[in-house]
């Protein structure tokens, strides 16, 4: 009975295939050509693996001159997905498969990294969609599936009197002149630490009192022009006598070909008696943002522009008053003068 049932099923399948071939012929479609095209499509889909698309995305980012740090971070995150997803055709990967990868990272307590991994995997799928290798992004269905990480803000001193004490401590720093200059400039100019420590002398126009940071070193990949108050120009002139013959404004003591390390300023602050949970170089940005806004003297957009923040609101961006340059020039001089005042106000 089983053999007869199997034979009937096979016969029915054969009839369906025959009828489909007849219909295709009637519609002017060659069944052999159609089968060949479907086979080629399957082979193409199988060849377009997650690994292949991920490598193409990394190459695209490199051609767009993304920083080495950005490329390393993306490659590092993709490494967590390659073992499970790497050899799978991009068009066949499901949301459940992606979630399995994310949950393994989350189980290690790395909640922030798990969220970034979801976003990075999504970039691979969106690139595949843009290049006609898939028509979906399964990471979109996973929004809200991961534990939201607790936001830990970088330590910053926002009390004026305490900040004045910090400025006095910096003024008394007796270490390397390059480190001292960097520490003195951080509260005045409040750039991101990497923007300052990798600065080159060609970026500074001390006569015009301007510092132009190239796009490659900016977080948002846009060049940033900053006014230099008199105090900053004075510090840079003093530093130029020491390092001005080289390319870098803040070269390492080991080699003039590399800038001071990420830990140099952190270590200097520790030497001054400030712990990691009290002050960091990046924290000077929060200090400046807080005290400038609290002063009520400056337009919020001018402060944000000086911080090199890009407003995500398209309408506000469209109506923003350019770079607010003239206001920022006045604001930065006022800020540097205010720091001098705070440094001389001894706590009562």
Task: Name the residues annotated as catalytic.
Answer: 192, 219, 282, 285, 309, 319
CA distance linking residue 50 with residue 89, whole number of Å:
6
Neighbours of 323 (CB within 10 A): 14
CA distance linking residue 183 with residue 279, whole number of Å:
12
Q: Which of 326, 321, 293 is nearest to 307 (CA)?
A: 293
| CA-CA-CA-CA torsion sign (208, 291, 250, 63) | negative
CA of 119: how far to CAs of 104, 116, 224, 232, in Å?
A: 16, 5, 27, 40
What sections of 199-344 are H helices per DSSP? 230-243, 262-271, 283-295, 300-306, 314-319, 325-344
Q: Which of 191, 189, 215, 218 is nearest to 282 (CA)?
A: 191
CA distance linking residue 145 with residue 118, whole number of Å:
10
CA distance linking residue 47 with residue 165, whole number of Å:
63
Q: Give the bridge partners for 210, in sequence order.
A: 205, 227
Q: 227: part of which helix (H) or strand (E)?
A: strand 224-227
8-state DSSP, 216: G
How is residue 272 written in tokens?
């001054």
CA distance linking residue 98 with residue 118, whole number of Å:
8
């Amino acid at each position: 009975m089983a053999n007869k049932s199997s034979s009937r099923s096979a016969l029915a399948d054969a009839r369906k295939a025959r009828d489909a071939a007849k219909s295709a012929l009637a519609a002017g479609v060659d069944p052999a050509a159609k089968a060949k095209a479907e086979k080629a499509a399957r082979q193409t889909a199988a060849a377009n693996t997650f690994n292949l698309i991920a490598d193409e995305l990394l190459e695209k980012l490199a051609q767009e001159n993304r920083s080495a740090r950005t490329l390393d971070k993306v490659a590092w995150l993709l490494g967590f997905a390659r073992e499970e997803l790497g050899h799978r055709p991009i068009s066949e990967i499901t949301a459940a498969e992606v979630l399995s990868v994310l949950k393994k990272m989350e189980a290690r307590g790395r909640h922030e990294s798990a969220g970034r991994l979801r976003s990075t995997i999504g970039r691979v799928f969106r690139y595949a969609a843009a290049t006609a290798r898939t028509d979906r992004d399964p990471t979109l269905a996973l929004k809200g599936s991961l534990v939201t990480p607790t936001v830990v803000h970088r330590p910053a001193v926002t009390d004026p009197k305490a900040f004045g004490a910090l400025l006095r401590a910096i003024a008394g720093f007796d270490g390397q002149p390059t480190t001292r200059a960097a520490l003195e400039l951080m509260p005045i100019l409040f750039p991101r630490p990497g923007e300052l420590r990798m600065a080159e002398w060609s970026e500074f126009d001390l006569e015009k009192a301007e510092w132009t940071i190239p796009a490659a070193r900016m977080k948002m990949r846009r060049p940033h022009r900053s006014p230099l108050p008199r105090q900053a120009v004075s510090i840079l002139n003093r530093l130029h006598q020491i390092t001005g013959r080289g390319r870098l404004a803040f070269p390492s003591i080991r080699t003039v070909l590399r800038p001071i390390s990420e830990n140099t300023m952190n270590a200097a602050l520790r030497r001054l008696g400030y712990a990691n949970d009290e002050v960091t170089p990046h924290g000077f940005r929060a200090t400046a943002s807080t005290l400038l806004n609290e002063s009520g003297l400056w337009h919020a957009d001018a402060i944000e522009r000086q911080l090199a923040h890009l407003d995500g609101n398209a309408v506000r961006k469209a109506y923003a008053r350019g770079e607010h340059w003239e206001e920022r020039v006045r604001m930065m001089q006022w800020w540097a003068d205010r720091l001098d005042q705070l440094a001389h106000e001894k706590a009562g």
